[in-house]
Chains A and B, each alone.
Chain A
């Protein structure tokens, strides 16, 4: 059976991709941010995953407001980087783990989830940036991907508890998949940021640092928070952190926090990552 070899949580700020495109990663503004990911990259190389499950939100690129899926799952063989307004970025296409994706869709529906199933769709920075942060800029990505989109743009967004439940199904799907794939799960988004309204620019460093430890050692606290709590604590766009819960719920109750990193601000966002292994 396929196995989960670890879980990571990471920001997916678009300006991280822009910094890489423009070669700014060694500048004083960006170097401390990127340096902190070196340990995560080294962990990923050693972990040798075959598949990355990436939980992220679209940012008005692949989905418009004409149809807004609360949860969507990609079952494509290939995903192209979407044109977000600046042209398609010069990074490789992403090969899809289509068999595992369909198996996951089966398990979701059996478990009373009702996802949108996507056969042809592009991916935005929500998936691209985490891949670049953990796999660098290879000529071809060393893993296949299983994309899961979570609506965090238009309310109602799903509850943290529902994201947690999806993580349970994800684990069951991976562990019942007839193959020997090594799977890493990447929960993405956050940390604290707010891009709209008079409170724009809100960053909550204290809450972000507590999150990085708490998501590992006290995740029940975050599972039980309301959506309002997320918005108040982490900012309107910081509520993206609910997507890390899908990753966390797919791991054991007890995990080892192998790496963590925090830097603020990256653009207008508290940014960082954790690497978790099952204890």
Chain B
């Protein structure tokens, strides 16, 4: 599978995404280290500055805009570590991806009643 992908609404983490999102994902990967999690919590802006992120990337992280982070090349498995520092249920992240209200997402996508 290369650059093109014809499956609707299904971004694949391909070469372009990996290159585009490298720094954002590297910042998120660092949150696997407890010292970095403490630094993120203490001064998020200063922590993000260490990773050479663009203004758009920083803004997406600060806003916890999960859809935008993925659009910028963030891969969910890396950026999920942000939700370890600042807890958000994964279904809420999913709803944000889908562009749906959380309750609608649970009901209509996951089939929960």
Contact = CB atoms under 8 A, between A and B. Distances in A.
Interface of A: 15, 59-61, 64-65, 82-87, 153-157, 194-203, 205, 227-228, 231-232, 235-236, 264-265, 267-268
B105 A60 contact: no
Nearest to B22: A65
Nearest to A267: B90
B11 A236 contact: yes
B110 A153 contact: no
B50 interface: no
In the complex, which range does the number of interface residues on chain B fall in?
35 or more
Contact of B99 (A156, A194, A195, A198): A198
Given A196-B70, A265-B112, A231 B10 contact: yes
A235 B100 CA distance: 18
A196 B81 contact: no
B10 A87 contact: no
Contact of B9 (A86, A198, A228): A198
Contacts of B105: 201
Interface of B: 1-2, 5-15, 18, 22, 25-26, 28-29, 31-34, 37, 70, 75-78, 80-81, 83-85, 90-91, 93-95, 97-100, 105, 109-112
Given A65-B18, A86-B84, A202 B34 contact: no
A79 B94 CA distance: 31
**Dominant SS among interface residues on chain A:** loop
A267 B110 CA distance: 9
19 contacts: A65-B22, A65-B25, A83-B34, A84-B32, A154-B75, A156-B1, A156-B2, A196-B13, A196-B76, A200-B95, A201-B105, A201-B109, A201-B110, A228-B1, A232-B7, A235-B10, A236-B12, A264-B110, A268-B90
A50 to B, nearest CB: 32
Contacts of B84: 84-86
Which of B14, B25, B28, B81 counts the most A-chain CB atoms under 10 A from its CB?
Answer: B81
B87 to A, nearest CB: 9
A236 B17 CA distance: 14
B13 A200 contact: no
A268 B110 contact: yes
A196 B7 CA distance: 13
Contacts of A199: 7-10, 98
Nearest to A63: B29
A197 B18 contact: no
A156 B9 CA distance: 19
Nearest to B98: A200
B27 to A, nearest CB: 11
Nearest to A88: B34
Contacts of B32: 61, 82-85
A154 B20 CA distance: 13
Contact of B12 (A155, A264, A267): A155
A266 B10 CA distance: 21
